[in-house]
């Protein structure tokens, strides 16, 4: 696992260790601290609320362990569904670094994979490196390249992960929205793959509030690629209307 999913799994392992070594009261205190720190991140909120239920149950230890394993299995289930969905495609584009997308691409192994470098932070290049080490044919492209590649038919479809999948919007790494619009305009499928805890059963504004926008860890800062003496914006997420998504593969 990589990214947010790995951090969530690590947090659950820490809660389980605290429960076994120090008891329910200490584990509950650690859970409250995690909720305070991550309550603004939908997937964390969903999992930590599940963990809260486990600690209130009759067998907290087995409940937390079952939750941790369910997260691991969810990634595999979603990846297998997505891999089946893109089977037979010659080329796929993706962006950022998603454990479930990475696993789906390894399973399906389409002949050509294009990964947007995903500025700011460039996580896409990191995922491309891992795919290459796994023997997958992959190329990194600049974030503005998919438009021309999709127009020319070089790229047949897009497959992206999700930071959160609300009833009305997909929240994901910035660049997802223009990629979805490009796919819609040129009539290419735009696929999303997400584990169960990324699926938020409410509308976007019900979680964040009217006019609110999800901030990256540490807030919005000037991109490292831009001279810091110049005014700039460093959005980390964008919102993609679900109407632009062709298929959602859930685990």
Find tokens 């005014």 and name the residue.
Answer: 231
Closest by CA to 150, choosing from 106, 122, 189, is 189
- pLDDT > 90? residue 3: no
Rounded Cα–Cα distance for residues 226 and 78 (Å): 37
Give the whole-angstrom CA distance, residue 55 versus residue 26.
11
105-121 pLDDT, tens digit per residue, is: 999 999 999 999 998 88
On the question of pLDDT at 32 being above 70, the answer is yes
Q: What is the pLDDT of residue 221?
A: 59
Q: pTM of this prediction? A: 0.90
CA trace torsion 146, 149, 150, 153 (10° rounding): -160
How far apart CA 166 and CA 45 sit, in angstroms, is 13
pLDDT at 217 over 70: no
The residue among 66, 57, 96, 60 whose CA lies nearest residue 175 is 96
Cβ pair 180, 247 in contact under 8 A: no
DSSP-assigned letters across all residues of 160-221: E--SEE-SSEEEEETTHHHHHHHHHHTT--EEEEE-GGGB-SS-HHHHH-TT--PPPTT---
Higher pLDDT among residues 234 and 147, named by residue: 147
Q: Which residues contact 233 (CB under 8 A, 6 or more apart)?
A: 220
Give the pLDDT confidence score for residue 101 in this predicted structure. 97
pLDDT for position 220: 60
> Quick check: 211 pLDDT over 60?
yes
Q: pLDDT band at 40, cuts 50/70/90?
A: confident
Check residue 214 and give its pLDDT: 72
**Domain 77-250, CATH homologous superfamily name and number:** Translation initiation factor eif-2b; domain 2 (3.40.50.10470)
Tell me the pLDDT tens digit for each residue of 126-173.
999 999 999 999 999 999 999 999 999 999 999 999 999 999 999 999
CA gap 176, 238 in Å, rounded:
7
| Residue 42 clears pLDDT 60, i.e. is over it | yes
Q: Residue ranges of the domains in the chain? A: 3-76, 77-250
Rg (CA), the chain: 19
Quote the Cα angle for 94-119-168, to 5°: 60
Kindly indicate the confidence band of residue 79, based on its pLDDT and cuts at 50, 70 and 90. very high
Higher pLDDT, 216 or 198: 198
Average pLDDT across the chain, whole number:
91
pLDDT band at residue 212 under the 50/70/90 scheme: confident
What is the token pair recorded at 226? 């831009």
- The pair of structure tokens assigned to 186 is 């040129």
Segment 49-73 shows an average pLDDT of 91
């Amino acid at each position: 696992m990589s990214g947010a999913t790995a951090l969530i799994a690590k947090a659950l392992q820490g809660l389980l260790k605290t429960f076994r070594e120090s008891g329910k009261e200490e584990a509950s205190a650690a859970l409250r601290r995690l909720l305070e720190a991550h309550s603004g991140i939908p997937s964390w909120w969903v999992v930590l609320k599940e963990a809260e239920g486990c600690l209130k149950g009759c067998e907290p230890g087995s409940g937390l362990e079952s939750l941790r394993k369910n997260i691991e299995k969810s990634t595999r289930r979603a990846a297998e569904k997505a891999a089946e969905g893109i089977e037979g495609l010659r080329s796929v584009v993706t962006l950022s670094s998603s454990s479930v997308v990475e696993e789906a691409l390894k399973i399906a192994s389409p002949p050509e994979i294009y990964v947007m470098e995903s500025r700011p932070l460039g996580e896409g290049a990191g995922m491309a490196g891992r795919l290459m080490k796994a023997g997958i044919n992959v190329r990194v492209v600049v974030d503005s390249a998919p438009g021309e590649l999709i127009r020319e038919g070089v790229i047949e479809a897009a497959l992206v992960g999700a930071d959160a999948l609300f009833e009305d919007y997909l929240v994901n790494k910035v660049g997802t929205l223009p990629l979805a619009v490009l796919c819609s305009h040129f009539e290419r499928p735009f696929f999303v793959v997400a584990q169960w805890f990324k699926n938020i059963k409410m509308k976007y504004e019900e979680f964040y509030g009217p006019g609110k926008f999800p901030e990256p860890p540490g807030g919005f800062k000037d991109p490292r690629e831009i001279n810091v003496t110049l005014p700039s914006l460093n959005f980390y997420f964008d919102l993609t209307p679900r109407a632009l998504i062709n298929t959602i593969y859930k685990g």
